[in-house]
């Protein structure tokens, strides 16, 4: 199984997160990054609210996050992936294009 390391910031930054994403997670991120910015912002805020509710729990006790895929079905994603999405989905401009480009390159190398 191939993984793509999704990293946002570095410790000791309070929002630092690192997640080893499989192909299904990367494809979900690809779909979410294709949404208009207003939708990405709304989605990121929902994820942040859910993560805020879990702040008191240790990383090993945190439940997964229900996430709607493009076909309107839900699946559970890791809280680390949810945290990465919450921080990166609001990106715009060259930062957004950079993330999209890396995701596209990784997906092309899988096929």
**32 band by pLDDT with thresholds 50, 70 and 90:** very high
71, pLDDT greater than 80: no
Domain count, the chain: 1
59, pLDDT greater than 90: no
Residue 3 makes CB contacts below 8 A (sequence gap 6+) with 20, 21, 22
Domain range holding 97?
A: 4-110
Q: Dump strand ranges (E) for the chain.
A: 4-8, 17-21, 65-68, 74-77
Provide the 10 A C-beta neighbour count for residue 9.
Answer: 12
- Reported as type and span, the H/E element at residue 14 is none
Q: Which residue has the higher pLDDT, 72 or 105?
A: 105
Phi, psi (5° rounding) for residue 75?
A: -145, 160
């Amino acid at each position: 199984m191939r993984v793509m390391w999704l990293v946002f910031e570095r410790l000791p930054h309070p929002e630092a997160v690192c997640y080893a994403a499989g192909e299904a997670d990367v494809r979900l991120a690809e779909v979410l990054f294709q949404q208009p910015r207003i939708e990405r912002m709304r989605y990121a805020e929902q994820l942040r609210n859910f993560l805020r509710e879990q702040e008191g729990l240790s990383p090993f006790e945190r439940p997964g996050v229900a996430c709607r895929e493009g076909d309107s079905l839900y699946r559970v994603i890791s809280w680390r992936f949810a945290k990465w999405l919450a921080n990166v989905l609001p990106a715009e401009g060259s930062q957004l294009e950079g993330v999209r480009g890396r995701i596209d390159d990784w997906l092309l190398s899988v096929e």
